[in-house]
Chain A
């Protein structure tokens, strides 16, 4: 089968839209393969704009893993902005991939990575543009199998009607297994059609096929039963876990766009998983246990990635990078290695302690100390005990003051608002803290030229966390607390002018809450919003709360539930949750106990440094903590580079700039 390129028909449209470069492909390290040379074709999508989606690590990893297979190819596609989408509909041009502008409709799989639930309307937009029926049950063998992955896939119930499969956990191995299943089914002459293909996929570990399960609801709106409707599918689906990260050094050749993207740097994932036990953090809960990449594994990925991309900055990524068992040595040896090469190193700092400042100093020792980021998350000591992110106020002030004393001029502090048990007083302590930080900081820096930016986002309870039972704070509560906080910060202008406050109103969080803890009935709301013109919900200029609220009221009324029922309602211990059949490995009883401990303001330690406290993950998944130290060290670059042919145009300019702007991603994805 030959597949046409849509480019000749797309090109005249590109002359009429904003930032057309994002639709032409041609990125450095993009891969193209002949269509007919392989049996299984994957279209990988990040359901947001190109500039947000291109740097996504997960997608880049799967792209390389699949393209390394001789029997498969993978191409990428991103959400199309409304200006081009309108023209494409008008001219009958379908959703396309960037590598060869092939129609997404013709691929065997469409894999969509959901980092956030706010991408759901963009999935519907892409399916519609691609000419793929919105509802999984309306598709036939000629349509791609629509696969949802990413963190949001741990509760795919709101999109259950629209996806054929959801994949739980690490994707590196499962995409290969799915490719094998598809390939064998094709080789056998596609027996049993699409249903048989899906049934076979449902028996791959980590793959959940929603249409093979039936849900019924009780009179109070809760789930009464959840049962398979075939006897050859598993009753529970467990996540996949990749062990030994050094064996998976992806991406080896990170994609570099011509267009601007949100991260103008390459990233190396230094470990996966986190056992700090922050109770609000879904990422930390669903990615256990901790698996570290070794110092030598990190060193070779940094070296290979820089050579492959020409980027000037490397981010050492993980959920809490300062916790890597060899981070001090990694920082020092990388800074040594890249001294004099204009290469910046950065670390997303989330922990509040002096060690983080030391690390940041090391990484920036030859360059500018601009901004440093800490994430205390909770405003008061009390609320920090509730969320299990314990740090005393004194330590916090001391750490930030140390940063100013070390020459850092700008400190960013991340907080959440609307946490369980929170009161106005907890949030007002953020203002006290910021004021104290500036006072002590001015003294320590010997200058008034310092700034503190407080960034605060509304908390959204997430599935598979101890807060999955919690009542979400209403938008009014969030907005009220943000108002009193702003007034308190502005009370003393002499200090307040050194403090910046960044926040978003509470409404988008309510919709995120509906989509996070929703069940299959919420699918109707998503479809309705999309039909009414909703898309790009992560962008404040496109997000419409009223459109969502109206759709929720009208679509949920027949079921006797509403927006508040899904968001501000506290769940009981024995309520069947929509994601209970999906196994993150966390024991539900352990989660409940941890929720009770949160309410009692009791802390839980990190199992990397204290005995296992039986969260359930390791025994259920057959995994274990993999951490160092390995005792190894990085080979100096001179040795690494020896024997490389030197181009005559080549020669390191003796420039020095190791600028560290250790920033973490904005907690609220709004632009």
Chain B
């Protein structure tokens, strides 16, 4: 039998909180592991009463999901944390936000509704905005049309196990071009598939169908993450929890 630590088991999770946070400015260069480390330390500094797993090296109960790639900024990263004591979600948001470095900003914190299902199941698509400095809007527009017109666009994706051919087109739900301050901007909604189709892969697809090669490194921002609704838009994944919360509790508790 495996050895067990002495003493009582850790207290159970009594409340699950779901957070939306950002990756802005220079912190877009943080990897998902960097973010996890920063978040765990911030939870300690903010003295959030985390629930822990049992065993010899207890971990705080944190579920990470669908992190934006290193180098991509985000306005919509999500994480779920388990607490051993109940806390007001807004107070946790404020305390945690103050403990995180500027650029990792906690925008929302809601309590997970009972029976509302897993948060991960509500995150099946991303809306990206990709700034392409040095690219003409017309050029991008033509490339986007070519991409949407294609049935499949196979690109080589770098994975842990070496390059792998994937169909980037299949994951693209919608795409459009616009212009702003002399640069072209690509708006694209991508469905969450395995392996993940990332902004790099979409750009590789544009290069494949229209020979589009931005002269400067593109800058991607994840603007929203959620489930695709009937109109092809990305729905707010915390919406169901927020609704359930206001039904059960009325107005949020004061801090």
Query: Once bound together, how far apart are the Cα atoms of A307 and B10, in whole Å?
Result: 23
Which of the residues B10, B31, B217, B255 comes within 8 Å of A655, measured between beta carbons?
A: B10
Query: Once bound together, how far apart are the Cα atoms of A657 and B8, in whole Å?
Result: 12
B239 within 8 A of A: no
Interface size on A, residues (CB 8 A): 41
Interface residue stretch chosen among B80-88, B114-122, B150-158: B80-88
B140 within 8 A of A: no
Contacts A26-B103, A258-B37, A311-B44 given; 10 further ones with Cβ under 8 A? A14-B71, A26-B101, A28-B101, A256-B41, A264-B37, A367-B56, A649-B48, A651-B47, A652-B49, A659-B57
Query: Once bound together, how far apart are the Cα atoms of A659 and B55, in whole Å?
Result: 12
Q: What residues of chain A lie closer than 8 Å to B56, measured between beta carbons?
A: 367-368, 659
A647 within 8 A of B: yes
Query: Once bound together, how far apart are the Cα atoms of A19 and B70, in whole Å?
Result: 8
Q: What residues of chain B lie closer than 8 Å to A310, measured between beta carbons?
A: 40-45, 99
List the 3 closest pairs (A to B, CB-CB), nearest first: A310-B41, A310-B45, A24-B26
B27 within 8 A of A: yes
A20 within 8 A of B: yes
B240 within 8 A of A: no
B162 within 8 A of A: no
B107 within 8 A of A: no
A16 touches B217 (CB 8 A): yes
A491 within 8 A of B: no
Query: Once bound together, how far apart are the Cα atoms of A68 and B212, in whole Å?
Result: 52
Interface residue stretch chosen among B89-97, B186-194, B221-229: B89-97
A20 touches B29 (CB 8 A): yes
Question: Which residues of chain A from 8 to 47 have a CB within 8 Å of any chain B CB?
Answer: 11-12, 14-16, 19-21, 23-28
Q: Known contacts A26-B26, A653-B84, A655-B58; is A307 also within 8 Å of B34 by CB? A: no
B83 nearest in chain A by CB position: A653
Query: Once bound together, how far apart are the Cα atoms of A355 and B95, in whole Å?
Result: 42
B1 within 8 A of A: no
B27 touches A368 (CB 8 A): no
Q: What residues of chain A lie closer than 8 Å to B33, measured between beta carbons?
A: 260
Q: What residues of chain B lie closer than 8 Å to A70, measured between beta carbons?
A: none
B84 touches A307 (CB 8 A): no
Q: What residues of chain B lie closer than 8 Å to A23, measured between beta carbons?
A: 29
- A sample of 9 inter-chain contacts (CB < 8 A) reads A16-B217, A21-B70, A26-B103, A258-B37, A259-B34, A309-B45, A368-B56, A650-B48, A659-B57
Query: Once bound together, how far apart are the Cα atoms of A16 and B218, in whole Å?
Result: 11
B166 within 8 A of A: no
A368 touches B7 (CB 8 A): no
Min CB gap A102→B, angstroms:
15
Q: What residues of chain B lie closer than 8 Å to A652, measured between beta carbons?
A: 47, 49
Question: Which residues of chain A from 170 to 186 have a CB within 8 Å of any chain B CB?
Answer: none
The 0/1 profile, CB within 8 Å of B marked 1, for residues 262-295 of chain A is: 0010000000000000000000000000000000
B46 within 8 A of A: yes
Min CB gap B86→A, angstroms:
10
Min CB gap A12→B, angstroms:
5
A650 touches B5 (CB 8 A): no
A15 touches B41 (CB 8 A): no
A477 within 8 A of B: no
Min CB gap B132→A, angstroms:
13
Which of the residues B26, B27, B47, B58 comes within 8 Å of A650, measured between beta carbons?
A: B47
B71 touches A15 (CB 8 A): yes
Query: Once bound together, how far apart are the Cα atoms of A651 and B34, in whole Å?
Result: 26
B34 nearest in chain A by CB position: A258
A649 touches B71 (CB 8 A): no
A474 within 8 A of B: no
Which of the residues B5, B70, B88 comes within 8 Å of A649, measured between beta carbons?
A: B88
Query: Once bound together, how far apart are the Cα atoms of A260 and B37, in whole Å?
Result: 8
**Taking chain A's interface residues, is the majority helix, strand, or loop, or is none over half, making it mixed?**
loop
Question: Which residues of chain A from 632 to 671 have a CB within 8 Å of any chain B CB?
Answer: 647-657, 659
Which of the residues B5, B52, B255 comes within 8 Å of A653, measured between beta carbons?
A: B52
Could you list which residues of chain B lie within 8 angstroms of chain A, going by C-beta atoms?
5, 7, 10-11, 26-27, 29-31, 33-35, 37-38, 40-52, 56-58, 70-71, 84-85, 87-88, 91-92, 94-96, 99, 101-103, 216-217, 255
A341 nearest in chain B by CB position: B44
Query: Once bound together, how far apart are the Cα atoms of A522 and B107, in whole Å?
Result: 57
A647 touches B26 (CB 8 A): no
Min CB gap B2→A, angstroms:
11
Query: Once bound together, how far apart are the Cα atoms of A163 and B70, in whole Å?
Result: 38
A7 touches B42 (CB 8 A): no
A258 nearest in chain B by CB position: B34
A342 within 8 A of B: yes
A381 within 8 A of B: no
Query: Once bound together, how far apart are the Cα atoms of A14 and B70, in whole Å?
Result: 10
A647 touches B34 (CB 8 A): no
Q: What residues of chain B lie closer than 8 Å to A258, measured between beta carbons?
A: 27, 30, 34-35, 37-38, 101
A436 within 8 A of B: no
A655 nearest in chain B by CB position: B52
Min CB gap B121→A, angstroms:
28
Min CB gap A337→B, angstroms:
16
B103 nearest in chain A by CB position: A26
B101 touches A656 (CB 8 A): no
A329 within 8 A of B: no
Q: What residues of chain A lie closer than 8 Å to B71, measured between beta carbons?
A: 14-15, 20
A366 within 8 A of B: yes
Q: What residues of chain B lie closer than 8 Å to A649, measured between beta carbons?
A: 46-48, 87-88, 91-92, 94-96
Query: Once bound together, how far apart are the Cα atoms of A28 and B48, in whole Å?
Result: 18
Question: Which residues of chain A from 240 to 262 have a CB within 8 Å of any chain B CB?
Answer: 256, 258-260
Q: Known contacts A367-B5, A368-B5, A653-B50; is A307 also within 8 Å of B45 by CB? A: yes
B11 touches A654 (CB 8 A): yes
B29 touches A647 (CB 8 A): no
Query: Once bound together, how far apart are the Cα atoms of A649 and B88, in whole Å?
Result: 7
Query: Once bound together, how far apart are the Cα atoms of A659 and B43, in whole Å?
Result: 20
Q: What residues of chain A lie closer than 8 Å to B10, measured between beta carbons?
A: 655
Which of the residues A16, A342, A648, A655 comes within 8 Å of B88, measured between beta carbons?
A: A648
A505 within 8 A of B: no
Q: Known contacts A28-B101, A258-B27, A649-B94; is A656 also within 8 Å of B7 by CB? A: yes
A312 within 8 A of B: yes
B49 touches A12 (CB 8 A): no
A10 nearest in chain B by CB position: B26
Query: Once bound together, how far apart are the Cα atoms of A366 and B8, in whole Å?
Result: 11
Query: Once bound together, how far apart are the Cα atoms of A552 and B244, in whole Å?
Result: 74
B216 nearest in chain A by CB position: A12
Min CB gap B72→A, angstroms:
10
B101 touches A7 (CB 8 A): no
Min CB gap A594→B, angstroms:
45
